[in-house]
Chains A and B, each alone.
Chain A
Amino acid sequence: MKLFAFAGRNAKEILRDPLTSVFALGFPLALLWLLSAIQANVPVELFAVGRLAPGIAVFGLSFMTLFSATLLSKDRESAFLARLRTTPLTAADFLAGYLLPALPIALGQSALCFAAAVPLGLPVGLNLLLALVLQLPAALVFLSLGLLCGSLLSVKQVGGICGALLTNLAAWLSGIWFDLDLVGGWFRRAAELLPFFHAVELQRAAVAGQFAELPAHLFWVLGYAAALFALAVAAFRRKLR
């Protein structure tokens, strides 16, 4: 009951913020439609809906990092978290309370992205369901980053680091907007060491039904999810002490 009350509050805070609708839904969907329109006139393999929609679904998660980090950082700065720390809530309740409501919101965001891509030619099938399931570790990567940043940074810093730096990193180093082989060299190697590229490739392989490619990318995403979650928990618990 305690956890559900707190988790429910966090879900309401995220969903009632108008920026959620604008950035988490409006912006990715606008990109999807715009690039699909370009694709219709000037066909580019990268922007075929089967490759574009999975990429945008992952890119949309970077906004979840911003929302979850902002919520936690605001709670710290406004002393709301301090108030709740004087209640019977435990450290585990706090962690779960911030994370659990954000996960279904993140998956819902991806589901809407895929749903919007269906009229643009994305085939409907079990592969889409698999892609959504495999989006869970990617969502954990981005939400753990949000918990980490929200624990360590001020609201202003969260805006700069999660709002500008992370979204750009996720865009540039993921292969969503351009083929990484066009740059090649150290840029591609750096991208392959980060989770964004693997999260996108995981989604693309799932949507295309290329199951043999899943394990290699899933390994990277799960590894980052576990490491970032552990880091976020450590940072959060340190702040609570």
Chain B
Amino acid sequence: MEAIRTEKLTKRFKDVTAVDGLDLGVREGELFALLGVNGAGKTTLIRMLCGLTKPTSGDAFLLGRSVVREPKAAREILGVSPQETAVAPNLTVRENLELLCGVHGLSRAAGRARAAEISRRLGLGEVERRRAGKLSGGWQRRLSIAMALVGGPKVLFLDEPTLGLDVLARAELWDVIRRSRGASR
């Protein structure tokens, strides 16, 4: 089964068409990138696939679950790291991860274990006790991706994951992303 499939997916904002009848298929385990100029509709597409924006017409399916008709079921299998880093600034790195465990319904003990595992996998150990708002852009991006992985998503959306990072930080983060492929659970 395809991880992502879109059928004539369209989004219009008044007189602007951001996404126009898109048909797309992404296989499971595939690392798929959307490239385009500013305003091409990449973020709008991701927002529709995540259920944050309703399509004007058409539909999209995540492992067969319609984001229009079964948004709750679709949300259960996706993780997202938005374009902005979207972390809780006054919480420590570890608390941010445990927060996401909590909102995904994990018990406190299970949440601690899951947060520790994700932190280890993403190499966040050395900054675990630091407040997220005080971290550098690179560490915040890494935390943002770690938070997206907490729920064990089968489909992971990363919107501009290396935005604002230097060359070294970019390379390191792409390594993390490649390692995470097929290993989120």
Contact = CB atoms under 8 A, between A and B. Distances in A.
**Do A and B come from the same complex?**
yes
Interface of A: 1-2, 4-6, 8-9, 12-13, 16-17, 77-80, 82-89, 241
Contacts, number: 80
B75 A88 contact: yes
A82 B80 CA distance: 9
B75 A86 contact: yes
A57 to B, nearest CB: 26
A8 B95 CA distance: 10
B171 interface: no
A77 B83 CA distance: 11
A82 B86 CA distance: 8
Interface in B58-108: 72, 75-76, 78-91, 95, 98-107
Interface string B137-172: 000000000011001000000000000000000000
A103 to B, nearest CB: 19
Given A9-B88, A9-B91, A88-B105, 9 more contacts: A5-B103, A6-B103, A79-B82, A82-B82, A83-B82, A83-B86, A85-B51, A86-B52, A87-B103
A80 B88 contact: yes
Given A12-B95, A82-B86, A88 B103 contact: yes
A87 B50 contact: no
B22 to A, nearest CB: 20
Contacts of B76: 88
B59 to A, nearest CB: 18
B50 A2 contact: no
A80 B52 contact: no
A80 B147 CA distance: 11
Interface of B: 47, 50-52, 54, 72, 75-76, 78-91, 95, 98-107, 111, 147-148, 151
Contact of A17 (B47, B52, B79, B90): B90
B82 A6 contact: no
A13 to B, nearest CB: 5
A80 B87 contact: yes
B88 to A, nearest CB: 6
B103 A13 contact: no
Contacts of A87: 75, 100, 103-104, 151
A166 to B, nearest CB: 23
4 A-B pairs with the lowest CB-CB distances in the bound complex, closest first:
A5-B102, A79-B82, A79-B84, A79-B86
Contacts of B75: 86-88
A13 B132 CA distance: 12
A83 B81 CA distance: 7
Contacts of B151: 87
A84 B151 CA distance: 12
Given A13-B90, A78-B86, A80-B87, A4 B102 contact: yes
A83 B102 contact: no
B71 to A, nearest CB: 10
A84 B103 contact: yes
Contacts of A83: 80-82, 86, 147-148
A46 B135 CA distance: 49
B84 A78 contact: yes
Contacts of B98: 5
Contacts of B52: 82, 85-86
A9 B87 contact: no
Given A13-B88, A78-B84, A88 B104 contact: yes
Contacts of B111: 5
17 contacts: A1-B107, A2-B102, A5-B99, A5-B103, A8-B99, A9-B91, A13-B88, A78-B84, A80-B87, A82-B47, A83-B82, A84-B103, A85-B52, A86-B52, A86-B75, A86-B78, A88-B72
A2 to B, nearest CB: 5
